[in-house]
Amino acid sequence: MKQFTSVQDVADVNALVQEALALKRDPLLYQHLGQGKTLGLVFMNPSLRTRVSTQLAAYNLGMQVVVLNADKDNWALEFQDGAVMRHQTVEHIRDAAAVFGSYFDVLGVRCFPALQSRDDDYSEHIMRQFIEHSGLPYLSLESATLHPLQSLADAMTIQEHRPKHRPKVVLTWAPHIKPIPHAVANSFAEWMHRLDVEFVVTHPEGYELDSRYTQNATIEYNQQKALQDADFVYVKNWSSYEQYGKVLTEDPSWLLTEGHFAQAPNAKIMHCLPVRRNVELSDEILDGPRSLVQQQAKNRIFAAQAVLKNLKSS
């Protein structure tokens, strides 16, 4: 695997999930594999889990890690080709990424969308420039449209807790106070499409995701109906795709409480974190026995480890 930007980069999803679970059982099995190799991690946006779990994963493989907070630790980057750089940006991505290419063996980047122009964000022009100009094996730490490391950890968590061979998995929109990217929801949808699950997406009208990611998932506007007999309920806010980047409603009736689970008594709850308590998810759910959020967060280490183990320069 030369890059990990999407489930499309993974030949056998089930095999990768099994490999990540095997690494969870024996994290130091390949502790010499990455000796002499350096992983560069560039964060253009904040992170807790991705930053720490990816570093731990690299250490488990014997790699060294350099972390840069973009525009704080390094010079402000310019991404426009042909730019006349008379303003705030100091170094062009062509130059900076080429330098990364000579320093690191693998490059990971987090680059959120601006949520201003759908075409710009969905072109992934920032991620593509890091890949092109570094020439390195590339690990997405969450891009404008996808968060595959999170989805791999989510697939591991479902595999560990599945009560039956083909569980019902529901992705439900949740309220939020500000516009949130689509990356986690898009990514979760495209990974569920590659697993043997019944997949349902529920949200208020106007929050339809890009159908390239939801594909043949059932779209159900009635949350209560969608939750019926669910085995896993993945809770996430996202802003509108059609009215790009807009918050259309903050309807609190979409906030899940125990009262929502009369028809899904055994449903487990998932969320990628960070979560705004009692806005996106209630305390009683997050602190109760349904919650798998800490298991998901722990699996981020071994998801990253499995991917790093498989990233190669050709």
Closest residue to bound ligand CP by CB:
50
Would you count residue 49 as binding ligand CP (CB under 6 A)? Answer: yes
Evaluate whether 34 touches 63 at the Cβ level (below 8 Å): yes
Closest alpha carbon to 246 in 255, 254, 237:
237
CA separation for the pair 173, 254 (Å, rounded):
7
Q: How far is the CB of 43 from ligand CP (least distance, A)?
A: 9
What are the two backbone dihedrals, phi and then psi, of residue 172, each rounded to the nearest 5 degrees? -115, 135
Which of 129, 134, 150, 299: binder of ligand CP (CB under 6 A)?
A: 150
Return the range that interacts with ligand CP (CB under 6 A); candidates 46-54, 86-94, 97-105, 233-241: 46-54
CA separation for the pair 185, 172 (Å, rounded):
9
Would you count residue 187 as binding ligand CP (CB under 6 A)? Answer: no
Return the range that interacts with ligand CP (CB under 6 A); candidates 27-35, 41-49, 58-66, 92-100: 41-49
CA 168 to chain centroid: 21
Closer residue to ligand CP, CB minimum distance, 140 or 223 = 140
Site track for ligand CP across 272-291, x = CB under 6 A:
xxx-----------------
The most distant pair of C-alpha atoms in the chain lies apart, rounded to whole Å, by: 61
Closer residue to ligand CP, CB minimum distance, 127 or 226 = 127
Which of 22, 48, 83, 262: binder of ligand CP (CB under 6 A)?
A: 48
Q: How far is the CB of 74 from ligand CP (least distance, A)?
A: 19
Using CA atoms in the order 231, 237, 243, 244, what is the torsion angle rounded to 10 degrees?
-110
Closer residue to ligand CP, CB minimum distance, 47 or 239 = 47
Q: Which residues contact 253 (CB under 8 A, 6 or more apart)?
A: none
Would you count residue 172 as binding ligand CP (CB under 6 A)? Answer: no
Closer residue to ligand CP, CB minimum distance, 206 or 274 = 274
Residue 48: half-sphere exposure toward Cβ, Cα within 13 Å: 6
Q: How far is the CB of 233 from ligand CP (least distance, A)?
A: 17
What are the two backbone dihedrals, phi and then psi, of residue 265, each rounded to the nearest 5 degrees? -60, -25
List strand residue ranges (DSSP E) for the chain, in order: 3-4, 38-43, 64-69, 77-78, 91-92, 106-110, 138-140, 168-173, 198-202, 218-220, 232-236, 268-270
Would you count residue 47 as binding ligand CP (CB under 6 A)? Answer: yes
Would you count residue 50 as binding ligand CP (CB under 6 A)? Answer: yes
Residue 196, classed as helix, strand or coil, is: coil
**Applying CB under 6 A, what is the total number of residues that bind ligand CP?**
9
Q: How far is the CB of 271 from ligand CP (least distance, A)?
A: 9
Q: How far is the CB of 83 from ligand CP (least distance, A)?
A: 29
Would you count residue 55 as binding ligand CP (CB under 6 A)? Answer: no
CA separation for the pair 130, 108 (Å, rounded):
9
Return the range that interacts with ligand CP (CB under 6 A); candidates 20-28, 55-63, 270-278, 305-313: 270-278
**Which residue is listed with tokens 């709850």?**
269
Per CB under 6 A, residues contacting ligand CP are 47-50, 142, 150, 272-274
